[in-house]
Structure 1
Amino acid sequence: MFRKILVVCVGNICRSPTAETLLRNALAPSAISVTSAGLAARVGEAMEPSALQVLEDHGHNAQGFKARQITPDIVNESDLILVMEKEHVKQVLKIASHARGKVFLLGKWQSEREIQDPYRQGKAAFIHAHALIEDAVSSWAQRLGH
């Protein structure tokens, strides 16, 4: 049973907080906690404004979000770790090699689809990333029994 899910991207200001918010909402009201972190996090920063706007346009709220850096402790306490790109799997395993069995692409159920970083690419890229994240989150939520 998964109790703690961690979503990971690079800066922890675009993709992972979007996925964190969507997955948390999709799994409510379960006891599963969903958090996020970055491999090179913009620690303490709020969500990137375009990412936040697209999230809010879809009826979700991530006000008060603050980016954080992934650490071995965060990896260890997580039951399931969802990443955006295949390279992120490798980077998480460099932090904690024993996590191999619990690190998967968020897009696993979409033929191992990677979700590219929309950072500094304009609103259309954020809308596209949001749609891919929403699709992947829906698949994970179904498989997690919600």
Structure 2
Amino acid sequence: MFQKVLVVCIGNICRSPTAEYLFRHRLGEGSKVQVSSAGLGALVGHGVDRTALELLRDHDIDGSAHRARQLDRSLLRSADLVLAMERDHVVSITRMAPEASGKVFLLDRWGTGQDIPDPFRQGRPAFEHVYTLIDNSVNSWLKYL
């Protein structure tokens, strides 16, 4: 079983924290699974993007405590499962830490295997689309956690 799940995107302010907080919400407070997130080019210390935060709140999820952090090898080593938003992210992660390659997958692995696009600096419709993709992907992973 996976005890520590790490979700990765680029800035760690839109997609990966959305997935992190959706996982936490769906798994519930009593879950033994720890979910966190990080970014390949994180906007370190920043909170969740305003529009992404609004969408989480619209679904009764509070992501206000999130602060972006940079992905590094120690985070990858400590994770049991690493979920990336795009194929390019999987490649970057496995270059950074080849020893992690067996535990790095696309977030949408159990769906169509598509990349989840970055909505950063786009309008709410782009964020809503991405939220739906992330929500579906998170739900598809739950039976494996």
TM class by shorter chain equals over 0.9
- 3-state secondary structure, aligned to 1:88: helix
Deviations 1:90-120 (A, max 9, x none): 1111110011110000000112121000001
Question: Which secondary structure does the structure 1 equivalent of 2:116 belong to?
Answer: coil
Structure 2 residues not aligned, in runs of 5+: none
CA apart distance, 1:143: 2.6
2:110 corresponds to = 109
1:16-39 Cα offsets, whole Å, 9 max, x none, are 000000011112221010000000
Structure 1 stretches lacking a partner, 5+ long: none
Mapped partners of 2:27, 2:83: distance in 1? 15
Identity of aligned residues (%): 47
Q: CA deviation at 1:133?
A: 0.3
Q: Structure 1, residues 45-98: CA drift from partner, whole Å, max 9, x if none?
A: 001100101111111101121000001000000000000000000111111001
Q: In structure 2, what is the equivalent of residue 21 of structure 1?
A: 21
Aligned residue pair count: 144
TM-score by length of 2: 0.97
- Deviation of 1:124 after TM superposition, in Å, equals 0.4
Residue 142 of structure 1 and its aligned partner are, at CA, apart by 2.2
Partner AA of 2:25 in structure 1: N
Q: Does 1:8 align with 2:8?
A: yes
The alignment's TM-score, normalised by the length of structure 1, stands at 0.96
Runs of 4+ in 1 over 6 A off after TM superposition: none
* Map of 1:75 onto structure 2: 76
Aligned CA-pair RMSD: 0.7
